[in-house]
Amino acid sequence: MTAGLRVLPLGGLGEIGKNLTVVEYEDRIVVVDVGLRFPTADMVGIDLVLPDFAYLRERADDIEAIVVTHGHEDHLGALPWVLRELGEHSVPAVYGGALTMAMARSKLDEHRLTATPLERLEAGHTVQLGPFELELVHMTHSIPDSVAVALTCELGTVVVTGDYKFDQTPVDGKPADVSRLAQLGARDVLLLCGDSTNADRPGFSPSESVVGPRLEEVFSRCLGRIVVTSFASNIHRVQQVVDAAASLGRKVSLVGRSMRKNVNIGRQFGHIDVPEGLLIPPREIEDLPDHKLVVISTGSQGEPLSALRRMAHRDHPAVELRDGDTVVFSATPIPGNERAVNETIDRLYHIGCDVVTTADAPVHASGHGYVEELKLMLNLLRPRYVLPIHGDHKRIRLHSQLGESVGMRPEHIFRGENGLPLEIDGAGARFAAREQSGMIYVDGVDIGDVADVALRDRRMLSADGIFVVVATVSEQDGRSVAPPEVIFRGVPAQEAPDGELVDEIRATVEASLRRAAGEEIREIDLLQEILHDDLAGFVYERLRRRPMVLPVVVEV
Ligand SMILES: [Zn+2]
Ligand SMILES: [Zn+2]
């Protein structure tokens, strides 16, 4: 049994995403956040990246609870996988705010995981979890219901900030609970694990509520239709778009599944207020005059099958963009998504749209505090030790320097890494022996090989050969009109497809095309993307190899 407190980050340090921090006392564990991250371009064929939680699997019996700070994917997204891998019953409960738990519920339902209780905990209330008392502290961020987590044990309090900014004029009028943070600081904060995302930006972050008036300015100059794209979870941003549209006499239509879902959840919990009669369903968009419409759409990150990407490919069933329309990017690309976003923007220009991004007008505000806000957090909590989290190495280092700048002793500031536990007891704090950490790749719904094995395979595409699949579809309705042709080259002889496998590949292609036709996906590039993903998954399942899969769709 380890004496004292142990804090082990399994994700979020030295990277952007997949935040997961393990807090242990007397061998009992509370996990704060279980996030995922999205693959970078070199992770060929990977859908999602999870933290390696082998450590939790070994310690499954010691877990008291998982606490989730807010509903973003990089904090909540790995929950279904963690519960599935650890066994739903090994996690007694998951805690978080009401909206966060509603989002968790909808995620777990999709994965048919219903056994683990999701407990709403209001900020300011406490619950006992083994040797810890858990309290959530209300914070401001780019999604409502964001909290910092305070875990108090005999040794003192650990605060994990979650993502935060100190927005003095948040859209919902509920600023961060600064007085509670100060009270905790006056007691005894042993350790602060703080968000480092904007540790490189001087000053204070602009308030979310400055975005609304800027959007209205931009809107007022538009003569055609307006499409605004943002994160579906940024409910307050959606509210501001709705307000700006309403004040200029434009109707609003929500496009994209996650946009409609999040706005619905947001309305249920009173985080968004839409005037009666303002919303129109997507199928009525074409009936409205151009100057009477604002579309709020998913796709701000250039995601392949998102509504905006389909509009940019002139392949959206409800919105056909044209010359004179304006598309506003009310978001900045997450590192790694720049290429997809730029490609989408260029296609929009090709169609004749005007494009407004944060480079042209302040139509976005970050949800993460800047340098002065990180210092404010340090000064409010006055922690004995600091372990900056949620940032690449550069930002972790900058955050550490901020600790020194507000007068903390350098030896009390720990620049951590994923897998490196910080142990604290009466004698002090120090890093202990490294634990297993890393990445797990998810391919479709299957958890793939750990670490670089899968990637190494993929980089050796040449070794696994190539499949070319030619599908012929009808121009009218996108349905398959001839048996798909399957050609393969360079696939190792012993694994080369026999007649039976070729038939199965054909069946997979037919199934994908049927599904795409059902979703009214027509654009050739998108069809090919869908075929690629489905076939790559199927071939891997059958051959345990990853040949390059090259679908070609021909319209007749
Ligand atoms: Zn966040
Ligand atoms: Zn985050």
Is residue 518 within 8 Å of residue 438, measured between CB atoms? no
Q: Is 521 helix (H, G, I), strand (E, B) or coil?
A: coil
Per-residue tokens: 31: 């996990």
Annotate 139-169 with DSSP letters as a single string: EB-SSSSEEEEEEEETTEEEEE--S-B--SS
CA 354 – CA 327 distance, rounded (Å): 6
Mention every residue, 6+ apart, whose C-beta is less than 8 A from residue 210: 362, 365
Ligand nearest to the CA of 74: 2
Annotate 212-262 with DSSP letters as a single string: HHHHHHHHHT--S-EEEE--TT-HHHHHHHHHHHHHTT-EEEEESHHHHHH
User: What is this structure's pTM?
Assistant: 0.81
Give 128 Cα–ligand 1 centroid separation in angstroms.
26
Annotated catalytic residue within 75, 316, 368, 399: 368
pLDDT of residue 451: 45
Rg of the chain in Å (alpha carbons) = 25
Is residue 544 within 8 Å of residue 491, measured between CB atoms? no
Sheet with 48-51: strands ordered across: 48-51, 439-443, 446-450
CA 309 – CA 318 distance, rounded (Å): 13
Give 183 Cα–ligand 1 centroid separation in angstroms.
25
Q: Select from 196, 231, 180, 110 the least CA-distant residue to 399.
A: 196
Give 403 Cα–ligand 2 centroid separation in angstroms.
21
Average pLDDT of span 513-536: 86
pLDDT at 92 over 90: yes
Annotated catalytic residue within 167, 195, 443, 457: 195
CA 19 – CA 13 distance, rounded (Å): 8
Ligand nearest to the CA of 21: 2
pLDDT of residue 83: 96
What percent of the chain is predicted at pLDDT more than 90? 72
Longest dimension (CA), the chain: 76
Ligand nearest to the CA of 234: 1
Average pLDDT of span 334-360: 93
pLDDT of residue 538: 87
Give 440 Cα–ligand 2 centroid separation in angstroms.
19
pLDDT of residue 497: 67
Give 506 Cα–ligand 2 centroid separation in angstroms.
42
493: confidence class by pLDDT, cuts 50, 70, 90: low
pLDDT of residue 499: 75
Q: What's the pLDDT tens digit per position in 534-543?
A: 888 888 888 7
Tell me which of 95-99, 193-197, 408-412, 509-513 is least confident. Answer: 509-513
- What integer best gives the mean pLDDT of the chain? 91
For the question of residue 399 being annotated catalytic, the response is: no
Q: Which helix (H) or strand (E) holds 550?
A: strand 548-555
Average pLDDT of span 388-409: 97
305: confidence class by pLDDT, cuts 50, 70, 90: confident
Ligand nearest to the CA of 390: 2
Average pLDDT of span 365-379: 98
Mention every residue, 6+ apart, whose C-beta is less than 8 A from residue 66: 30, 31, 32, 34, 79, 82, 91, 93, 94, 95
Give 368 Cα–ligand 1 centroid separation in angstroms.
8
Pairing of the two strands 422-425 and 428-431: antiparallel
Ligand nearest to the CA of 146: 1
Give 10 Cα–ligand 2 centroid separation in angstroms.
14
Is residue 14 within 8 Å of residue 397, measured between CB atoms? no
Give 544 Cα–ligand 1 centroid separation in angstroms.
36
For the question of residue 195 being annotated catalytic, the response is: yes
Give 203 Cα–ligand 2 centroid separation in angstroms.
20
Give 37 Cα–ligand 1 centroid separation in angstroms.
12
Q: Is 390 helix (H, G, I), strand (E, B) or coil?
A: coil
CA 511 – CA 530 distance, rounded (Å): 11
Tell me which of 85-99, 138-152, 177-191, 488-502 is least confident. Answer: 488-502
pLDDT of residue 443: 67
pLDDT at 445 over 80: no
Helix 211-220 / helix 235-247 crossing angle, nearest 10 deg: 40
Give 540 Cα–ligand 2 centroid separation in angstroms.
32
Ligand nearest to the CA of 198: 2
Inter-CA distances, 138 with 97, 103, 148, 177, 195, Å: 9, 18, 7, 5, 15
Ligand nearest to the CA of 391: 2
460/71: higher pLDDT = 71
Q: What's the pLDDT tens digit per position in 223-277?
A: 999 999 999 999 999 999 999 999 999 999 999 989 999 999 999 999 999 999 9
Q: Which helix (H) or strand (E) holds 464?
A: helix 461-464
**Structure letter (DSSP) for residue 205:** P
Mention every residue, 6+ apart, whose C-beta is less than 8 A from residue 268: 102
Give 5 Cα–ligand 2 centroid separation in angstroms.
24
One-letter identity of residue 104: A
pLDDT of residue 495: 63
Q: How many CB atoms lie within 10 A of CB 98?
A: 17
Average pLDDT of span 183-211: 97
